[in-house]
Amino acid sequence: MQKIPFQTVQNSIDKICSITEESDLEKASQHLFEVQPDLAGFFMEFIEDMSEGAQDLGFMMALILNRSFEEQYQNLRAMNEDEVIERFEKNEAEFEKYLQINDDMIADLQDKAAQAGQPEILNYIIEELFMSPELEPALEANEQVHLFIVCKFFVDCLNDLANETAPEMIRH
């Protein structure tokens, strides 16, 4: 399976962050809910009790992450609600470990992403949530961790969908 290159992630960041008109942001939001209604709905439900700043950041990150996957994989199917819930429940124990996230865990996640995931996508999430000194408004530590969990879940779901559409290797 192809990994999403840095430039695709950067182009998505540039495109989404350059939106200045409310109507264009509404179109981007509408598109996300058209292509991934249940996954996007889960994401928004997960962040609904966070501060407005955390919600805004999380929503913009979801738009960027989705756009990055769409640029690389044009034919992703929508994940249905049952799949979203089943996947979340299956990974809940792993997510609970992230509540104690530290540099060693981040390095381990980056190693795993480099081998079998989307390293540039994970690096974007980590950079945005944990390494960005200009993060305004500043998020509370628990909001950073919860946004990390939901973004990682969102990406893992999209990556699974991308793996479904990736052509199998041909063996001779």
Q: Could you tell me the mean pLDDT of each successive run of 10 residues in the chain, 172 residues long?
A: 91 95 94 97 96 94 97 94 96 92 92 91 93 70 93 96 68 38
Structural domain count of the chain:
1
pLDDT the model gives residue 48: 95
pLDDT the model gives residue 169: 43
Asked if residue 77 belongs to a domain, the reply is yes
Quote the tokens at residue 153. 């879940």
Asked if residue 80 belongs to a domain, the reply is yes
Asked if residue 62 belongs to a domain, the reply is yes
The dihedral built from the CA positions of residue 60, 90, 70 and 171, taken in this order, carries a sign that is positive
Range of the domain at 119: 6-165
pLDDT the model gives residue 166: 56
Asked if residue 29 belongs to a domain, the reply is yes
Asked if residue 170 belongs to a domain, the reply is no
One-letter-per-residue 3-state SS of 1-48? CCCCCHHHHHHHHHHHHCCCCHHHHHHHHHHHHHHCHHHHHHHHHHHC
Asked if residue 172 belongs to a domain, the reply is no
Asked if residue 39 belongs to a domain, the reply is yes
